[in-house]
């Protein structure tokens, strides 16, 4: 089996596993455990790029999870104005996505603030991570538009993004893990060649 097939299978399996769990708290916990593994690998093998990318993903995940899972933002109850609540929720999601894009666009500069390692460089993966959050932002914009159409115009049957929203999030988490796994494998292979 080629390496690319193994990584692709890993991403699909992780996505399916996260969907099967269908519990955001458990999925976030497992995702952070996986990111902690990559952080530990990067730290113990003197690979600051892997460590710092993992840490940024943990920070973004925790900001998002704490904001929504612990009631910092009202997710609404029966009888609430879901146009306003949806706009706030998806608007905050878009802001978190923008924060993540900025963190990854300036990841090297941010990493150099915390480490003086000469190994901190712009990797081929830095651009992929910010595109991952651009894709997440696009999904949130679609969710915002769908929320407005459903709640302001009464198109109550328009629920495609609403019904599949968690699946997109789980898939993006799995893709992030796949990208980190690819970085890790390439670092190990490059060491074996030298």
pLDDT tier at 69 (50, 70, 90 boundaries)?
A: confident
**Could you give the count of Cα atoms lying within 13 Å of 41 in the half-sphere of its Cβ?**
19
Q: What does pTM read for this prediction?
A: 0.91
- Angle 48-69/107-114 helices, nearest 10 degrees? 100
Taking only the tens place, the pLDDT of each residue in 21-44 is: 989 899 999 999 999 999 999 999
**Mean of all residue pLDDT scores within the chain:** 90
Dihedral of alpha carbons 17, 21, 22, 24, sign: negative
């Amino acid at each position: 089996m080629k390496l690319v097939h193994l990584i692709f299978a890993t991403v699909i399996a992780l996505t399916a596993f996260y969907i099967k769990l269908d519990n955001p708290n458990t999925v976030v916990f497992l995702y952070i455990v996986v990111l902690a593994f990559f952080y530990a690998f990067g730290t113990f093998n003197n690979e600051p790029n892997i460590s710092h990318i993992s840490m940024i993903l943990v920070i973004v995940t925790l900001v998002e999870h704490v904001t929504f899972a612990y009631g910092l933002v009202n997710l609404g109850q029966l009888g609430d104005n879901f146009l306003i609540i949806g706009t706030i929720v998806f608007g905050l999601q878009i802001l978190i996505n923008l924060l993540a894009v900025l963190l990854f666009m300036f990841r090297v500069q941010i990493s150099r603030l915390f480490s003086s390692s000469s190994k901190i460089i712009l990797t081929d993966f830095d651009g992929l991570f910010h595109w991952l959050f651009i894709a997440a932002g696009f999904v949130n914009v679609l969710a915002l538009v769908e929320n407005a159409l459903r709640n302001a115009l009464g198109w109550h049957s328009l629920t495609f993004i609403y019904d599949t929203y968690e699946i997109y999030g789980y898939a993006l988490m799995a893709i992030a893990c796949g990208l980190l796994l690819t970085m890790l494998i390439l670092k190990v292979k490059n060491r074996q060649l030298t």
